[in-house]
Structure 1
Amino acid sequence: MGNTLIFGASGQLGQCLAHVAKERNTPGLVFPPEAEANILNPAKLRALFEQHRPAYVVNCAAYTAVDKAEDELDLARKINRDGVENLARLCGEFGTTLIQISTDFVFAGTGNTPLVETDEAAPISVYGLTKLEGEQVIAAHTGQFFILRTSWLYSEYANNFVKTMLKLGRERDELRIIWDQTGTPCYAIDLAGCVLTIIETQNQHHGIYHYSNEGVTSWYDFATAIFELSGTPVKTVPIRTAEYPTKATRPAYSVMDKTKAKTVLGVAIPHWRASLAVCVGRLE
């Protein structure tokens, strides 16, 4: 099967990959320290490729500060586009398959039917734009790639919506949560399982895939479920997006159709609430 290099190993998905790989006893995963694995440093990247001769590279490294990105276009583009291009170029040279993590933010979110991989990408934020640019530079350097678009990522690791809600729910009597943005949460442990399935099965059906958990919800209903499952007695108040202005505009509807991932990658995808129950149970 060969070695797999994980970039962004200390982030949420990187930590989930380490967790699931240990559970599944998946061999060959290499988690280089950030100092050696800077995707903006082509010389260090080449040294890693020459040392490990990876069959796969999983890129979890990204600029993900959605609102901050509106003021830091150059930095976001450097990481989300140029860093990806550095990896893609080396993957093409070494015959390595690149697994790139992308986002529902590549879509405008103005529709009301689940998004398929061939739907037009039209980002409405700097973050979404730079992530789309990252997708687009890959094909110029390699045909061996999987782009996994995900949404509303959370887990026991790093900072995310679930952990923030649990913290605020303990500190406050009432929380105001947006109800008019619709999407699907994704338990990063499940996404990590999808990534490892691609590697373990040596799947050759390269291309773009959508992966989140099943079902549809709003941020308000997501938060309510977190509090129900954790037994947190906090009052939740639904509010509109306009009542909670942010620097970056979010897609109003970003539910993604996962049919392709299920049929071509052969992955079973749990309902978002079932996966949330697992995560909350592990956090308590």
Structure 2
Amino acid sequence: MKVLVTGASGQLGRAVMDLAPHSVQVTGVDRQDCDLVDVDAVRTMVTDHAPDFIINCAAYTAVDQAESEPELARAINADAVEAIASTHSGRLVHVSTDFVFDGTSSRPYRPDDARNPLSTYGRTKAAGEDHLRERDLLIRTGWLYAAGGRNFVRTMLRLMSERDELGVVADQVGCPTWAPGLAKTIWGLIGAEADGTFHHSDAGVASWYDFAVAIQEEARAMGLLQNSIPIIPIATADYLTAARRPAFSLLDSSKTRDLLGDGHTHWRMNLWHMLRAEKHLG
């Protein structure tokens, strides 16, 4: 089986490449190989590689910057997906986001729940979803992080080593998700010949404040931080951003877990795994 992975140098793309089954012939491409803004280049890439599967890990993820660059966000998050889907004769595995929901639910969002994105980023990701075909596979996730990537965990580690005090939003709730766990799920769903929409996140629930407190505790225990600093819970209204974010973005992953039969790892355990890998990176 030939598989092409877009966004191969990103934190999810690297995990997908690293965890590819030995029986799979996997090729990774990134920005320097194909500019996803160039629709003709995208179509040529698909035609030249002619894979059985394309796993699309590439995305415009600068949530706030997307408010001032909507055309660029749409080109990467929606138009490139359309170009892949309309050119590719095989199956497309596309990764999307909890930001397609508005955060007003009183329970975790199920794969078939109505979308109502609040931001340009969320709207462009929803538009990308709409280009998938019946045989394709859509996997939504959120709060993604991995060792060596650009993410909340590494930002917190830096700020905690630089500042005497840190305020973190406490009224946005979701679940941190370790990229290698999502990569494992992607390969599992491919192996199960799944199609349609699935959700993946780690087990449990957290606010960004809860996540930050856990990062500091685990990093101190592991020797990644020398000192602890006060972490102050703040409201979203006290930390204004260009893009609106859902206040509640838990994803219901029960459909995924039932199909794969692989249990559910709590986010704090996966945070420990990530920080251990981060320590090994130096």
Whether 1:235 aligns to 2:230 is: yes
Query: In the aligned structure 1, how far is the partner of 2:131 from the partner of 2:47?
Result: 22
1:122 is aligned to 116
Contact 2:43 2:84 in 1 (8 A): no
Whether 1:16 and 2:7 are equivalent positions in the alignment is no
Residue in structure 1 matched with residue 139 of structure 2 by the alignment: 148
The unaligned stretches of length 5 or more in structure 2 are: none
Hey, what's the Cα distance between the residues in 1 that align with 2:188 and 2:232? 40
Per-residue deviation at 1:278? 0.5
1:52 matches 2:46: no
Runs of 4+, deviation exceeding 6 Å: none
Report the CA distance between 1:12 and its aligned residue: 1.5
- Matched residue, 2:196: 207
Check whether the contact 1:38–1:45 (CA below 8 A) recurs between aligned residues: yes
Shift of 1:42: 4.1
Three-state SS of the structure 2 residue aligned to 1:137 is coil
Deviation at 1:52, TM superposition (A): 3.1
**Could you say which residue in structure 2 is the equivalent of 1:252?**
247
Whichever residue aligns with residue 92 of structure 2, its letter is: L
Deviation, structure 1 residue 194 = 1.0
**1:12 & 1:28 partners in 2: Cα distance?**
20
Would you say 1:264 and 2:259 are equivalent positions?
yes
The residue that corresponds to 1:219 in the other structure is 208
**1:39–1:87 Cα contact (<8 Å) kept:** no
Aligned-pair identity in percent equals 40
CA separation in 1, counterparts of 2:213 and 2:63? 24
- The reply on whether 1:180 has 2:171 as its aligned counterpart is yes
Q: Provide Cα deviations, 1:67-90, integer angstroms capped at 9, x if missing partner.
A: 111111111111111011011112
Corresponding position: 1:279 with 2:267: no
Cα contact 2:36–2:75 (8 A) shared by 1: no
Structure 1: how far apart are the matches of 2:235 and 2:5?
A: 38
**Structure 1 CA distance for aligned equivalents of residues 159 and 141 of structure 2:** 25
Which deviations, in whole Å up to 9, do the C-alpha atoms of 1:172-193 show, x marking residues without a partner?
1211011000000110111111
Aligned length: 273
Q: Is the 8 A contact 1:15 1:157 kept in 2?
A: no
Residue 29 of structure 2: SS of its match in structure 1?
coil
SS at structure 2 position matched to 1:118 = coil
Query: 1:224 and 1:144 mapped to 2: Cα distance?
Result: 42
Aligned CA-pair RMSD:
1.5
Contact 1:13–1:189 under 8 Å retained in 2: yes
Letter in 2 for 1:242: A
1:76 equivalent among 60, 64, 73: 73
